[in-house]
Amino acid sequence: MALVRRSHCLCPEMPHSSWRPWFVDFAVYSGGVYLFTEAYYYVLGPAKETNIAVFWCLLTVAFSIKMFLTVTRLYFSAEEGGERSVCLTFAFLFLLLAMLVQVVREDTLELGLEPGLASMTQNLEPLLKKQDWDWVLPVAKLAIRVGLAVVGSVLGAFLTFPGLRLAQTHRDALTMSEDRPMLQFLLHTSFLSPLFILWLWTKPIARDFLHQPPFGERPFSLLSDSAFDSGRLWLLVVLCLLRLAVTRPHLQAYLCLAKARVEQLRREAGRIEAREIQRRVWTPAPHPLPHFSTHTSLHPLLLGGYSWGLGPAPLLSPNPSSDSAASIGFGEDEVQQTAARIAGALGGLLTPLFLRGILAYLIWWTAACQLLCSLFGLYFHQHLAGS
């Protein structure tokens, strides 16, 4: 048997694998920064300091989206296999679904988009009336609606192949843990966790059911509105941590995919080149879904004015821009006054109600995309992959 010297050509480095450990470390560090800032604000309670945990969580979400974009670009650059057509098909499908979701009334799906847009336009209307730009208000609302639909379509395209891969590793992880029923229960619960998130924002079977349950003749309330909001955030974080906890079985199932593909290649006749073997055996590694979901779930608490406690939530100011304008002192220089006015204008536009609606929509839509793609992946690997 002749010996062949290994070279960079025969053993190429997997795309985006060099900075994947760095991304995981950064996500863990940003979670630590968030816990530290929460303890700091709970003990000292500073009123006018900027919460740096917002920027750390935003950076983590941005790096997650960058990784999604990198992997999706790999699928688009594939010459054969149909990955590009699958991404485009799911992108148009999710665009249609995103537009349909925004038509649902708040009595059924309480995402908070309508109160958020009303809060933003209430603060934006006086500024536009001074410039005689009243026509901008409906255009701005329509632009926000269309922008959310486009973002939902792109996010759905990003989550298409991660959902297919998650379904495959879920099936394999269940097969490898046949003698561990507790692990199988955790795997099933983690796989169906997006369904619980969809239930939390469906008002008739979530908030209304817990606020006035149909038990007995006397009406009583299990949870108040503020307690329900806090409990929803707690359950959201617990589900994200559960998905992080079952990452190891999924990674082990992903590693076993290479062995299965090599055995499949052995059954094929003919001689196959080394590059073709690498192309067929290598598949993109599991995606940063847990980190993206975890850090996205923290933003409603940071930007939406929620609280971890089950007691009454702090009241939101109906007009934050006026509060910021009133805090401008006469002894400040011109630069500080200009910065305070800009901060007040941004605070009047990006109100907590508006941010609540946007972030609730993104969280609910991410869970819906994960559930649909994962269920389609189960059907594909169960009935279509072997045919």
Reduce the DSSP state of residue 281 to 3 states and report it: helix
Report yes or no on 198 lying in a domain: yes
Cβ atoms of 33 and 52 within 8 Å: the answer is: yes
Output the pLDDT for position 324.
47
Predicted model pTM: 0.79
Domain that residue 324 falls in: 320-350
Residues 232 and 339 in one domain: no
Output the pLDDT for position 332.
53
Q: Which residues contact 98 (CB under 8 A, 6 or more apart)?
A: 148, 149, 152, 153, 156, 365
Output the pLDDT for position 231.
83
Output the pLDDT for position 98.
93
Residues 178 and 266 in one domain: yes
Residues 217 and 345 in one domain: no
Output the pLDDT for position 272.
56
Note the helical H segments in 205-288: 207-211, 225-245, 247-266, 274-281
Output the pLDDT for position 189.
93
Report yes or no on 287 lying in a domain: yes
Residues 224 and 340 in one domain: no
Residues 342 and 253 in one domain: no
Residues 306 and 379 in one domain: yes
Output the pLDDT for position 9.
45
Residues 53 and 28 in one domain: yes
Average pLDDT per 10 consecutive residues for the chain, totaling 387 residues = 43 56 80 83 73 81 82 75 83 94 89 86 79 80 92 90 87 89 92 90 84 66 77 85 87 77 62 53 52 54 57 52 47 64 68 84 90 90 71
Output the pLDDT for position 273.
55
Q: Which two tokens stand for residue 23?
A: 């991304």
Number of domains in the chain: 2
Residues 325 and 342 in one domain: yes
Residues 244 and 376 in one domain: yes
Residues 341 and 357 in one domain: no
Report yes or no on 92 lying in a domain: yes
Report yes or no on 4 lying in a domain: no
